């Protein structure tokens, strides 16, 4: 390995360590219902507040795209899937509780038991 390639590898590693991870999320909803709208709004607000500029959110209506829902083995809606960063996480059911969404996305540690 040349000095130049070692140097550029170190620079890439330094950037990767400094840059917070990008989140890749999929939100499955069932039609345009109040519960679906609530899920979209809550997840969008949480992402804008905690991940500004560092997330991709794909909203998928299981009625419009059932093949995608089958591919991700969606059994209930709304379901939020965090694909990246690993580990993969799934939040199923109401997204009304913002704190639950924040903890589910690993954006804040769970409260200590005790």
When divided into structural domains, the chain yields a total of 1
Q: pLDDT tens across 72-86, in order? A: 999 999 999 999 999
Q: Is residue 49 part of a domain?
A: yes
Q: Which domain holds residue 24?
A: 20-104
| CATH code of the domain in which 30 resides | 3.40.30.10
Cβ within 8 Å of residue 91, ≥6 positions away = 79, 80, 100, 101, 104, 105
Q: Is residue 111 part of a domain?
A: no
Tokens 């009304």, residue located: 96
State pLDDT tens for residues 18-51.
788 999 999 999 999 999 999 999 999 999 999 9
Residue 114 lies in a domain: no
Taking only the tens place, the pLDDT of each residue in 103-113 is 999 998 656 44
- Look at residue 88 and tell me if it is in a domain: yes
pTM: 0.79
**Tokens 């509780």 belong to residue:** 97
* Angstrom distance (rounded) from CA 41 to CA 33: 12
């Amino acid at each position: 390995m040349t000095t130049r390639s070692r140097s550029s590898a170190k620079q890439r590693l330094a950037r990767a360590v400094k840059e917070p991870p990008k989140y890749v999320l999929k939100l499955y909803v069932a039609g345009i219902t109040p519960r679906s709208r609530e899920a979209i709004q809550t997840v969008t607000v949480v992402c804008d507040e905690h991940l500004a500029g560092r997330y991709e959110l794909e909203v998928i209506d299981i009625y419009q795209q059932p093949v995608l829902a089958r591919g991700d083995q969606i059994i209930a809606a709304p379901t939020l899937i965090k694909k990246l960063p690993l580990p993969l996480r799934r939040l199923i059911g109401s997204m009304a509780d913002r704190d639950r969404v924040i903890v589910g996305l690993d954006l804040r540690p769970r409260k200590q038991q005790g």
